[in-house]
Amino acid sequence: MEDTIILYPSPGMGHLVPMVELGKLILNHNPSFSIIILITTAPFDTGSTSSYIKRVTVATPSVHFHHLPTISPPSTTSLDNIAALAFELPWLYNSNLHHALQTMISQKSRPTASIIDFFCNSSFEVFTSLDIPTYYFFTSSASSLSALLSLPKTHQILLEKNKDPNTPIEFPGVPPIPTPDLPGPILDTEGIAYKSFFGTAINMVKSTGILTNTCHAFEPRAVKAISDGLCTPNLPTPSVYCIGPIVANSDEDHEHECLRWLDSQPSRSVVFLCLVVRGCSKQSN
C-alpha cells in the first residue's frame, strides 16, 4: 500500500497553488507517495479553481483532489473581516474533515502525515486526535513566522505598545518594527483574528514541524532565531524546514510585458509593493 500525505490548503488560488507545488516537490523526492489535497469552498469569491485542478490532475496523476461537502456560510463573523473569516472557515469544516479522514482510515488507507495551511489551524486537533502526524505549511517568510511564533511571548508588550506606539517592537531575527506598521489584526489584541493567530502559534509549537516558503540564505537571522528557540522561550522548539521559494511555473512560453518593462527601468528606481490576494494600501503610501 502506497504512503498517502494529506495536504489541506485554505480556499482560493492564492493558497491552493503553493500547496499543489509543495505536493509536486514531495513527489520529486518520493515518487512512491500519493498526495491527497482537500478542497473547501469559501462563501466569497476566490476565483475559479476547477480548470487549474483539471490541469494538475492530468499532468500529475499522483496528486488527487478531494472536495469536502460545502458548509453553510458563517453567521458570526463579518465577511468584511477576511483574516478572521479565513480562520473560521476551516473550523466550520471540521466535522466534514473528520468524517473524510475516518473514511480513509476505515478503508485501510491511513494517511502517513498531513500538512495544513496555517489558516487551517482549527483542523490541527482533528488530525492529531486521529494520530496523524501534522505539519504546518507557512506560505510566507521566515521573518513573518518569527513574528507569529513570538506572539505568546510578546502579547503583553503589544498591549503596552498599543498605549505607547512610539517605541518599535522587536521580534527575534527581525529588524525593529514601529508598532503602527504592524498588520491591523495583530494590533487588535481583542479581535477574533488576533486570537486565531495566537492559537496558531501555540499549536505550531506542538506540531511535528513547520515548512516555510523561504530558503536559509534569504533569511539566515530569522531562521536561526526560530531554530535557537528565541521565539518560543520555555516551550519546545519546533522543527523548521526551509523548502522555498516555491513558485509555480508559468504556462506561457513568452515573457510577460511587465517584466520587459521592469528590465528597461534604471537600477533601483522601482519599488515593489506586494498586496497578496486581498491586501490594500493607504493612498498616501
Tell me whether residue 279 is in a domain. no
- What is the average per-residue pLDDT within 78-83? 65
Q: Mean pLDDT in the chain? A: 87
Does residue 169 fall inside a structural domain?
Answer: yes
* Measured distance CA(9)–CA(32) in Å, rounded: 22
Position 284 in a domain? no
Domain-embedded: residue 272: no
At 253 the pLDDT is 56
Range of the domain at 64: 2-264
Supply the pLDDT for residue 275. Answer: 62
Q: Classify residue 276: in a domain, yes or no.
A: no
Nearest to 248 by CA among 12, 14, 2: 14
Inter-CA distances, 257 with 17, 252, 260, Å? 23, 12, 5
Residue 258 confidence (pLDDT) above 90? no
Catalytic residue among 45, 117, 181, 256: 117
> 77: buried, middle or exposed (CB in 10 Å: 19+, 13-18, 0-12)?
buried
**Active-site annotation holder among 3, 15, 64, 216:** 15
Contact between 169 and 154 (Cβ < 8 Å)? yes
The highest-confidence range among 35-44, 49-58, 127-136, by mean pLDDT, is: 127-136
pLDDT value of position 75: 63
CB 37 within 8 A of CB 20: yes
Instruction: Decide if 280 is inside a domain.
Output: no
Per residue in 23-52, pLDDT (tens digit) is 999 999 999 999 999 999 877 665 678 888
CA distance 213 to 138: 6
Tell me what percent of the residues of the chain surpass a pLDDT of 70: 87
What's residue 12's pLDDT?
A: 80
Q: Are 22 and 130 in contact (CB under 8 A)?
A: no
CATH number for position 53: 3.40.50.2000
Number of domains in the chain: 1
Q: Is the pLDDT of residue 94 over 70?
A: yes
Q: Is 113 contained in some domain?
A: yes
Is 98 a known active-site residue?
A: no
Residue 285 is assigned to a structural domain of this protein: no
pTM of the model: 0.86
Task: Name the region of 181 (left: φ>0; alpha: ψ -120 to 50; beta: rest).
Answer: alpha
pLDDT digits (tens, 9 = 90+) for 170-223: 899 999 988 888 888 888 888 889 999 999 999 999 999 999 999 999 999 999
80 in active site: no
